[in-house]
Structure 1
């Protein structure tokens, strides 16, 4: 069994790895489109900051309260450093008001750029894996 798994990885590793990269890039690009749509809708809401927690070196989670409901948003260190508990801030929301982004988040974060770079690399790796066979 171990030999079959090792053989599969050796023979199809590039194709499999490239395919995973293409899937991840699709998720990144999709999130970029969601942020773009929220920015274009321009629905401003006032939310209350409950907490901004750090989990690990690069993972920050912002707990927000809006209309009596609590939401958690993954964010970056730069946003957490500017916020204090119980601050009221304006954010952009989608039509159902269950997803929030900072006002300049779409402009400042390059989800599209990184997503398309990863997509290109994933496609090249997948092609190289198929061409190798």
Structure 2
């Protein structure tokens, strides 16, 4: 869902191309949401946004990647992303699948949509998962 891209937003992404793509997408969403977070610093320090706009920036990025559809987590899209990303790294793929399984079922009822997005990121971070 939100999970894969959200993880990318919080984690140090492997490879300069991936980092640049993540920064570009998050900066686009930053403009759309009015977020004030420094995207590069956020990725570098693995910081989860705490402002409403910052949380909505994460949701925006997840939507753009197809990880959120109709305000719900799109586990299939995330799973497909992880399978492609970790095709040659079975241990990372297994960890990704395990984290997706745990985090896709967390209770987000009662949370506002942007807070839900961040709840998934926090779950991934709490499970020591990084891209």
Same fold (TM over 0.5): no
Identify, as 1 or 2, the structure richer in helix. 2
TM-score when normalising by structure 1: 0.25
**Which has the greater radius of gyration?**
1
Identify, as 1 or 2, the structure richer in strand. 1
TM-score when normalising by structure 2: 0.25
